Amino acid sequence: MVSVKKHYQISSQSAEAEGLHSVKMPQHLKELKIVCPRIKATNKSEVSVKMRYSLLFLFLMMFPTSAGAQYIKWEVGEDIGVATLCRDKNTIMDLARADQLDEAHVIKTFASFASSGLCVTFDDHSPFTVVKTLHKYQDFKGHKSFVLEVVSNKILGFRGYVMARAPKRPSI
């Protein structure tokens, strides 16, 4: 116990010699001091507030997605590969509503629209360009999704509507 007291007293004296501030401990540890070289405060409450803000800042820096959770959006002019395409807004909005419920409902609804010619399916993903974002929503699995108006890169004037998940972008 004596060596601990001497160590803290020596540390405290050397810290004061260097111009650093110290914070006193509670009554039962009155003779001991903790050296706080970066936090200049005169009482314990100021240290507590500064530490709280420092921890909050570190937390927000470590978890930026929780600090500003937003949809990553499709930009106008961005290229997208399309496997299925609907011809009008009402059809794609009905399909998006079904996509919010469950997978079986989406498949049944799309099969109905495809058989009536309102939606088409391509063998491979065809290149399209995003013209407009019509609606954003969460699908039945909780993924962030969009209803987009797109135009074909190959056939002039070939336009349609698609559902797409939020694009994946590299983090900076």
Q: Which DSSP helix (H) or strand (E) runs through 52?
A: helix 44-62
Q: What is the pLDDT of residue 48?
A: 73
* Predicted local distance difference test score (pLDDT) of residue 24: 52
pLDDT score at 10: 47
Mean pLDDT for all residues in the chain: 75
Provide the percentage of residues in the chain whose pLDDT is more than 90: 37
At 36 the three-state DSSP class reads coil
- Name the band, by pLDDT with cuts 50, 70 and 90, for residue 166: confident
Calpha distance 1→24 (Å, rounded)? 18
DSSP 24-42: EPPGGGTT-EEE-SS---S
- Residue 88, strand partner residues: none
Tens digits of per-residue pLDDT, 94-134? 999 999 998 899 999 999 999 999 999 988 888 999 999 99
pLDDT at 27 > cutoff 60: no
Q: What's 79-98 look like in SS3?
A: EEEEEEEECCHHHHHHHHHH
Question: Given a cut of 70, is residue 63 above it in pLDDT?
Answer: no
Share of the chain above pLDDT 70, in %: 59
Q: What pLDDT score was predicted for residue 172? A: 57
Question: Comparing 30-39, 123-132, 153-162, which segment has the lowest mean pLDDT?
Answer: 30-39
Phi, psi of 3 (to 5 degrees): -65, -35
Q: Give whole-number Cα distances, 37 to 5, 16, 21, 31, in Å.
A: 20, 10, 6, 19
Predicted local confidence at residue 52, as pLDDT: 74
Q: How far apart are CA 67 and CA 65, in angstroms?
A: 5
Produce one character per residue of 91-103: b if its CB has 16 or more CB atoms within 10 Å, e if not: bbbbbbebbeeee
Contact 15, 35 (CB under 8 A): yes
